[in-house]
């Protein structure tokens, strides 16, 4: 039997049973759409997170006090601080030729007030290089010029204290100290969960005094180039070890390692979620098998007739397998269409998601649905092909 | 064209052997018109199925057109059926979702005849069988006689040498039955070898050669040259 004729034969048969066909195709469509949408969501989330890491800056090396036991490169959540990381340590790191610039960081919480307005906010103590290292920009003024009592405001803090007025030159109180507002950050900066719009930046020594702690929260150093990152890491370790009486008691993370760790985690998560969604395809596949088994039973006489007319086993097999595959294909196409549609519509409500199903996800979903059609259609088709023509033709 | 030698067909039902055919010897020449009669369960359908390559004998040999077809594998047998043998059944066995034209075209589709030629042959066949106005009707829109004519048109569209009919008029009233018999006899007149299984004495008597079965044996072979009959028995 020619392929086109076989296709027409299958299509007629599916059309004759349109209610049943529609049911199966719908199940396949939902299954495929599920795989496609979840894969797309996972992938979009991964892009979002890695995008956040990239937005941190270029070729960053992050130095944290305390030795982390984890070797994978994930940030230590609880470092047992053997020795504080100090401002002097930070200055010493600049001796490495691989380090272009760095920003020591102290973090705490304090009340910031202007006149009668006040609010609780995050306070970051750092230096002027924080701005280029983190690739942030200012809305107005300068970021922590070399003076003792200056500060920079995050965009939200600024509007809450000053409304639309210019805060430049005004004095705000942070904790029990007064600082002149020298700069305002442009809004939109995010730093791994810390909203830079919601903070106040102080010179690092002022913050240390405010929180009464000589230790640094972390140091963010920028390597001179991508290739210099490893050199910078080695130098940082060497310098700190030398300064800490031979103890290598800091954790050094590179932005790349951090980014690729999260990338890997989210990739695995995406695959896991897609795999779970694929179970619905499995269910749809079992539905296909069930329907085909019933079809073969109902059409025994037809199989017998086709054999009497001279159809060989492979023809019978391909006719029944063809129906299963055709239903899977229709469902797969429907699912891809629905999935693509969802991935174009949903970003209108969640702009962080980038629209469009990745090609690999569409191909994978298409392949899975096709394979399930073949896998679940084969057994009933084989059964039909093996039917004894005499018994199949006999009336029951 | 047909030569059966000591053909047996034994079914095993619940551990017990049922002898549907016992040592059947039969020679049929090209262009013969035979009827096969006998009581129910005597093995008529079984013999027909063996002759049509739908069933294999348990023992014995079957030569069709000179070749030992019992030695062929399933696919090779299917090819012989496709090109050389036509079947007509008591219950028509039309594919319900296909139109008359599509049902008649099925053997050509299976034989991979190109669509243009297929269409022309189907149309000619439908015209010859008086079914042209019914070509786009489905089986459930046809009368019993029209259904059987469609089935015969389908069975013969590949111009097979052998046409096997198992109680072709069993589901039809007398008048339509007679009509179907005329159709079959016309085909015989055109040269086809025709074997009809029937319970209808009148129909059976029309055949030039009348076979009778009982309990799996061929017990009568009337209208056939006696010498030939002896020759068959001698082998
Ligand atoms: N598939 C089968 N399994 C077991 N026994 C069978 C099978 N087919 C036929 N038989 C037995 O073989 C014998 C012959 O059956 P067959 O159908 O050939 O009879 P028949 O002459 O065609 O009868 P009828 O006139 O009722 O159609 C019967 O005893 C029947 O029960
Ligand atoms: Mg019978």
Is residue B44 lining ligand 1, measured as CB closer than 6 Å? yes
Which 15-34 residues of chain A touch chain B by CB within 8 A? 15-16
Of B110, B192, B107, B123, nearest to B155 by C-alpha is B107
The whole-chain average pLDDT of chain A stands at 88
**What mean pLDDT, rounded, does chain B reach?**
92
Q: Which residues contact A147 (CB under 8 A, 6 or more apart)?
A: A180, A182, A203
Q: Which residues of A touch B80 (CB under 8 A)?
A: 310
Token pair belonging to B199: 């319970």
Output the pLDDT for position B29: 94
Of A1, A313, A393, the CB nearest to B89: A393
A144, A173 in Cβ contact below 8 A? no
Q: What is the pLDDT of residue B123?
A: 96
pLDDT digits (tens, 9 = 90+) for A336-373: 999 999 999 998 988 888 888 888 888 988 888 889 89
Look up residue A337 and give its two tokens.
């269409």
Of all ligands present, the nearest one to the C-alpha of B9 is: 1
Name the band, by pLDDT with cuts 50, 70 and 90, for residue A78: low
Say if residue B73 is exposed, middle or buried (CB neighbours under 10 Å; 0-12, 13-18, 19+).
Answer: exposed
Q: What is the CA radius of gyration of chain A?
A: 33
Q: What is the pLDDT of residue B45?
A: 95
Q: How confident is the model at residue A75 (pLDDT cuts 50, 70, 90)?
A: low
Number of structural domains found in chain A: 2
> Domain range spanning residue A124?
83-248
| pLDDT of res. B153 | 95
Q: What is the pLDDT of residues A103-151, one digit of tens each?
A: 999 999 999 999 889 899 999 999 999 999 988 889 889 999 988 899 9
pLDDT of residue B49 exceeding 90, the answer is yes
Span of A249-253, A300-304, B206-210 with lowest mean pLDDT: A249-253
Query: If you average pLDDT over residues A171-197, what whole number do you get?
Result: 82
Q: Do A311 and B78 touch (CB under 8 A)?
A: yes
**Residue B227 has what pLDDT?**
37
Chain B CB within 8 Å of residue A393 CB: yes
State which of A136-145, A278-287, B48-57 shows the largest mean pLDDT.
Answer: B48-57
In this prediction, residue A81 carries a pLDDT of 45
Whether the per-residue pLDDT at A264 is higher than 60: the answer is yes
Q: Select the residue from B92, B109, B163, B165 to test the A interface by mutation, using most A Cβ atoms within 10 A.
A: B109
Q: Is A61 a member of any domain?
A: no
Report, at the CATH architecture level, how domain B31-57+71-230 is classified.
3-Layer(aba) Sandwich (3.40)
Query: Residue B220 in contact with residue B210, Cβ under 8 Å?
Result: yes
Q: Please name the residue that has the structure tokens 């920003």.
A: A103
Tally Cβ neighbours within 10 Å of residue A301.
Answer: 19
Q: What is the pLDDT of residues A207-223, one digit of tens each?
A: 999 998 888 999 999 99
Which of A33-47, A180-194, B123-137 shows the lowest per-residue confidence on average (mean pLDDT)?
Answer: A180-194
- pLDDT reported for residue B235: 38
Q: Whose CA is nearest to atom 11 of ligand 1?
A: B20
**Is residue B52 within 8 angstroms of chain A, CB to CB?**
yes
Cβ of residue B13 lying under 6 Å from some atom of ligand 1 = yes
CA separation for the pair A91, A164 (Å, rounded): 38
Beta-strand relationship, A99-114 and A218-223: antiparallel
Position A396 scores a pLDDT of 55
**Per the domain annotation, does A23 fall within a domain?**
yes
- pLDDT at residue number A323: 94
A277 shares a domain with A232: no
**With left for phi above 0 and alpha for psi between -120 and 50, is residue A192 left, alpha or beta?**
left
Ligand 2: distance of its center to the CA of B200 in Å? 13
Q: Tell me, yes or no, whether A37 and A127 share the same domain.
A: no
Model pLDDT for residues B55-75, shown as the tens digit of each residue:
999 999 999 999 999 989 999
- Interhelix angle A313-345/A359-386, nearest 10 degrees: 160
Look at residues A248, A280, A314 and tell me which one is the last residue of a structural domain: A248
> Cα dihedral sign for B74, B78, B80, B84?
positive
For residue A73, being part of any structural domain is answered with no
Residue A57 has pLDDT above 80, yes or no: no
Residues of chain A in contact with residue B107, where contact means CB-CB under 8 angstroms, are: 309-310
Number of neighbouring beta carbons within 10 Å of residue A96? 22
Q: Is B113 in the pocket of ligand 1 (CB under 6 A)?
A: no
Give the best-scoring range by mean pLDDT among A195-199, A370-374, B36-40: B36-40
- Higher local confidence (pLDDT), A265 or B100: B100
What pLDDT, on the 0 to 100 scale, is given for residue B114? Answer: 95
Residues A43 and A95 both lie in one domain: no
CB atoms within 10 A of CB A188: 12
Same domain assignment for residues A242 and A287: no
The CA A306 to ligand 2 mean position distance, Å, reads 20
B20 Cβ closer than 6 Å to some ligand 1 atom: yes
Asked if the structure places residue A60 within a domain, the reply is: no
> Would you place residue A82 in the very low, low, confident or very high pLDDT band (cuts 50, 70, 90)?
low
Nearest CA to ligand 1 atom 22: B45
The ligand with the least distance to the CA atom of B43 is 1
Domain layout of chain B by residue ranges: 31-57+71-230
Q: Name which of A75, A59, A205, A193 is nearest A135 in CA terms.
A: A59
Describe the crossing of helices A313-345 and A18-56 by its angle, rounded to 10 degrees.
Answer: 50
Most ligand 1 atoms within 8 A of CB, residue of B14, B42, B164 to mutate? B42
Q: Which helix (H) or strand (E) holds B10?
A: strand B2-13
């Amino acid at each position: 039997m020619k392929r086109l004729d076989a296709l027409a034969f299958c299509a007629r048969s599916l059309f004759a049973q349109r209610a049943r066909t529609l049911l199966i195709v719908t199940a396949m469509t939902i299954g495929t759409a599920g795989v496609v949408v979840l894969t797309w969501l996972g992938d979009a989330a991964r892009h979002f997170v890695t995008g956040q890491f990239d937005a941190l800056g270029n070729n960053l090396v992050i130095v944290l006090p305390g030795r982390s036991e984890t070797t994978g490169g994930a940030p230590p959540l609880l470092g047992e601080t053997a020795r504080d990381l100090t401002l002097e340590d930070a200055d010493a790191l600049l001796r490495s030729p691989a380090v272009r610039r760095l920003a020591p960081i102290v973090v705490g919480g304090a009340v910031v007030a202007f006149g009668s307005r006040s609010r609780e906010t995050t306070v970051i103590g750092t230096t002027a290089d924080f701005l280029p290292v983190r690739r942030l920009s200012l809305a107005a003024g300068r970021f922590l010029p070399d003076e003792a009592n200056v500060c920079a405001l995050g965009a939200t803090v600024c509007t809450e204290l000053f409304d639309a007025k210019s805060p430049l030159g005004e004095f705000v109180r942070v904790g029990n100290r007064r600082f002149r507002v020298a700069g305002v950050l442009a809004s939109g900066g995010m730093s791994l969960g810390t909203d830079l719009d919601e903070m106040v930046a102080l010179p690092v020594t002022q913050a240390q005094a405010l929180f009464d702690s000589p230790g640094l929260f972390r140091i963010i150093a920028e390597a001179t180039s991508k290739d210099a990152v490893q050199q910078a890491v080695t130098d940082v370790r060497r310098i700190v070890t030398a300064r800490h009486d031979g103890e290598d008691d800091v954790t050094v993370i590179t932005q790349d390692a951090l980014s690729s760790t999260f990338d890997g985690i989210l990739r695995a998560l995406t695959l896991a979620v897609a795999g779970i969604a694929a179970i619905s395809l499995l269910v749809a596949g079992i539905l296909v098998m069930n329907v085909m088994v019933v079809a073969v039973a109902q059409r025994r006489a037809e199989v017998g007739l086709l054999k009497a007319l001279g159809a060989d086993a492979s023809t019978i097999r391909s006719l029944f397998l063809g129906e299963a595959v055709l239903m899977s294909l229709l469902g797969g196409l429907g699912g891809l269409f629905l999935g693509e549609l969802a991935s174009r519509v949903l970003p209108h409500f969640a702009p962080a998601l980038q629209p469009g199903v990745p090609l690999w996800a569409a191909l994978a979903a298409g392949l899975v649905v096709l394979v399930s059609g073949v896998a679940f259609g084969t057994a009933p088709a084989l059964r039909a092909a093996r039917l004894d023509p005499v018994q199949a033709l006999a009336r029951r | 064209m047909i030569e059966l030698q000591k053909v047996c067909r034994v079914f095993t039902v619940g551990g017990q052997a049922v002898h549907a055919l016992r040592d059947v010897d039969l020679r049929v020449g090209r262009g013969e018109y035979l009827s096969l009669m006998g009581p129910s369960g005597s093995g008529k359908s079984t013999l027909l199925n063996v002759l049509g390559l739908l069933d294999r004998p348990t023992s014995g040999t079957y030569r069709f057109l000179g070749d030992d077809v019992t030695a062929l594998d399933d696919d090779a047998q299917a090819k012989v059926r496709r090109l050389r043998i036509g079947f007509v059944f008591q219950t028509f066995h039309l594919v319900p979702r296909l139109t008359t034209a599509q049902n008649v075209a099925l053997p050509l589709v299976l034989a991979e005849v190109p669509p243009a030629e297929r269409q022309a042959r189907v149309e000619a066949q439908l015209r010859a069988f008086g079914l042209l106005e019914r070509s786009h009707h489905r089986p459930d829109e046809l009368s019993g006689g029209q259904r059987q004519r469609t089935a015969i048109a389908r069975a013969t569209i590949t111009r097979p040498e052998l046409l096997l009919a198992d109680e072709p008029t069993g589901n039809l009233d007398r008048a339509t039955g007679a009509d179907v018999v005329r159709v079959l006899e016309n085909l015989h007149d055109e040269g086809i070898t025709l074997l009809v299984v029937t319970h209808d004495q009148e129909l059976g008597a029309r055949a030039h050669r009348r076979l009778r079965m009982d309990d799996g044996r061929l017990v009568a072979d009337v209208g056939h040259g006696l010498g030939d009959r002896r020759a068959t028995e001698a082998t």
